[in-house]
Amino acid sequence: MIRRGFLKDMLGAAWTGGTLLEQAVFRATQARAQSAGAPASLFTIEKVAEGIYAAIAKPTALINCNAAIFENSSDLLIVDTHSKPSAVVALVSQLKKEVAAKPVRYIVNSHFHWDHTQGTPTYRKIALHADIVSSAATRRLLAENGAERLRGSVEAARKSLDALKEKLSTARTREAKAHFATAISETNAYLREVANYAPELPNVTTDGRLVIHDKAHELHVIFSGRAHTAGDVAVFCPQKKVIATGDALHGFMPYMFDGYPREWPGTLRGWAKLDFAHVIPGHAAVQHSKDRFMNMAGYIEELTEAVVKGKGAGRTAEQLQQTITPASLKSLTRGGYGDFLGDSLKKYRFLDPSLSKAVIISDGVKENIAHIYGALGRA
Ligand SMILES: [Zn+2]
């Protein structure tokens, strides 16, 4: 669904952060995204501290991730690159208007997942001299899996179209009809946009801590163990007390398909010892305390323990999905963490509006059980 007024606005805002060649590529990418039918307004930008901003992804049919923007004295460092070129041009246009017309100097890929990395080739073209930073493990995983994961996301998107069309034809309320019509148009736009995607690999990696010394502040890219994937990094600014966490910590239920459930809580507790007051997560809202680190670590620990016990007793994942319920997990019921997750998912994910919070959480726990069950055999 393209809103003319917004597009005119976006085109009018000539991006002056780069060289003429970079600007030409930027405008061409912008035009291609528009002709593919990609939505133009994808983020809400929020100031988190002096010179640090969160671009919070609006809900879209194909998941998009947040970005963290660190404004250095003469350039920008951006954490994560979203799922598609149009997200990059949407963000860069918006940064020019709402943050600063400074060139992009550093890109950090927090981990290898497609919804955090598929915009990297676009940054490579519009910021020719930018360094692309990740952990060594993320670079390896992108090289091994990046193209295959893109094919997976394309296949899943194509398959989802039939189900979405079916749902649109039987939708009763105006809200439901609008939801499924938007889902179909955004899915088609995504498929057109990523048709020629090839992953762009980071050119700077770390197995520990890499520090960027800028006049404005220091930025620490920290790998300290496996979590959501084998290669998650956080970006920490000690002077401004901000941390950007990718998907190792966010406001949704943890996604554990590539995860290390026995190591993840320890990585989170380690990061929580750093001196920060604000968290820019990979998805959902900015947080201003360390509470969610403890909540998420506690949930992963409790659920993993229950799955380990059940698997040890010879139960199947399907059987455990019947007995381990949200109500049986203290980490979800205590302190309202389950409620927080439900509200957050309803607000920031593009979910069927008829789904209740209880159903969303229960489905999430079931998926987590299946993924933990599979991950327990992983080295
Ligand atoms: Zn992820």
Please say whether the beta carbons of 365 and 320 come within 8 A: no
Distance 111 CA to ligand 1 centre (A): 7
Domain ranges of the chain: 4-140+199-290, 292-375
User: pLDDT exceeding 90 applies to what percent of the chain?
Assistant: 73
Distance 116 CA to ligand 1 centre (A): 7
Distance 8 CA to ligand 1 centre (A): 33
- pLDDT for 133 beyond 50: yes
Distance 212 CA to ligand 1 centre (A): 24
Q: Find, among 199, 36, 46, 17, the residue nearest to 116 by Cα.
A: 199
Q: pTM for the whole thing?
A: 0.91
13-54 confidence digits (pLDDT tens): 445 556 777 788 888 887 877 777 766 789 999 999 999 999
Distance 377 CA to ligand 1 centre (A): 20
Which residue type sits at 96? K
The mean per-residue pLDDT over the stretch 136-156 comes to: 90
240-263 confidence digits (pLDDT tens): 999 999 999 999 999 999 999 999
**Res. 61 pLDDT band, cuts 50 70 90:** confident
**Res. 11 pLDDT band, cuts 50 70 90:** very low
Distance 360 CA to ligand 1 centre (A): 19
Distance 142 CA to ligand 1 centre (A): 12
Q: What six digits make up the tokens of 95?
A: 């940064």
Q: Find, among 355, 359, 277, 367, the residue nearest to 49 by Cα.
A: 277
Distance 255 CA to ligand 1 centre (A): 7
Distance 113 CA to ligand 1 centre (A): 5
| Greatest mean pLDDT among 58-67, 81-90, 218-227 | 218-227
The mean per-residue pLDDT over the stretch 223-250 comes to: 98
Architecture of the 4-140+199-290 domain: 4-Layer Sandwich (3.60)
**CA-to-CA dists, residue 58 to 23, 83, 116, angstroms:** 26, 13, 15
Distance 54 CA to ligand 1 centre (A): 17
Alpha helix positions (H), the chain: 4-12, 20-36, 85-98, 114-117, 120-126, 136-170, 174-193, 264-272, 291-312, 317-323, 330-333, 337-348, 357-375
The pLDDT score that the predictor gives to residue 24 is 80
